[in-house]
Amino acid sequence: MLGTDVAARLKTLDADFLGIDRDELDITNKSAVFDFITDYKPDAVIHCAAYTAVDNAEEDFETCMRVNSDGTDNIAKACRAVNAAMLYISTDYVFGCDGELPYETDSPKNPLCIYGKSKLAGEESVLQNVDKSYVVRVSWLFGHNGNNFVKTMLRLAQMNDEIRVVDDQIGSPTFTEDLAILLCEMIMSEKYGVYHATNSGFCSWAAFANEIMTISGNACKVNSITTEQYPTKAVRPLNSRLSKASLTKAGFAELPDWKDALKRYFS
């Protein structure tokens, strides 16, 4: 979902780039990653690959860690070998779930599930191995490629007059096309560091679902429920608010409001 939009953005910028998928390179294969990157000798790598099946990760934790932790470590060390910059996509799941204040980039980490722990391990590897590194935490991604919450809500609305959606988890829906623009600007800036990059504004999943129904013209009713009423294998953070102060300080513009992004997604 994100990688496709990043590649599309790089193309519009007339950048010399190579976009690859897992059929072409298994990032968990250390020697394959090293050979590929040292042969291509990139100036920079934008690492969008990840194991993102949050609930499955609780039982398939070895695969999750192998992709998100070991795979990232393989890329980081290969980047170090060719002195390439590396941009790593991380997540709000590296934090806990307490409070209502947005997390700063240096807020204490307390991942509550295997997925969050695997992404934090990836962060640590990038920061330890790559001098020219960017760690970019994102949340609630939606886009035209791949599966996401918007597509799920539209599918459920076709089959149901009413749906139940969690209303006590708060975060920022983020349009991958907006995010891709920022990531490409960032990778060319040499402003290395840790960032939070989401569309502006906060809402609950239920509020997000309501906006989806409104913009798409669906009459499906969204009923609000609590996280406790919708148990899942993996613990989700109640507070996924991320402060964008790091972007402002570095001179990057914040992404547009999530409602504006959702309208553009449908248009």
d(CA 122, CA 66): 10
- Residue 204 to residue 212: CA distance in whole angstroms: 12
Q: Could you say which of 88, 93, 115, 192 is catalytic?
A: 115
Q: Give the span between the Cα atoms of 195 and 74, in whole angstroms.
A: 22
Q: Which residue has the tokens 């910028």?
A: 13
115 given a catalytic annotation = yes
Rounded Cα distance, 261 and 264, in Å: 5
Task: Give the dihedral of Cα atoms 196, 201, 205, 208; nearest 10 deg.
Answer: -130
Distance, in Å, from the CA atom of 155 to the CA atom of 180, rounded to the nearest integer, reads: 26
Q: How far apart are CA 86 and CA 82, in angstroms?
A: 11
Catalytic residue positions, numbered: 115
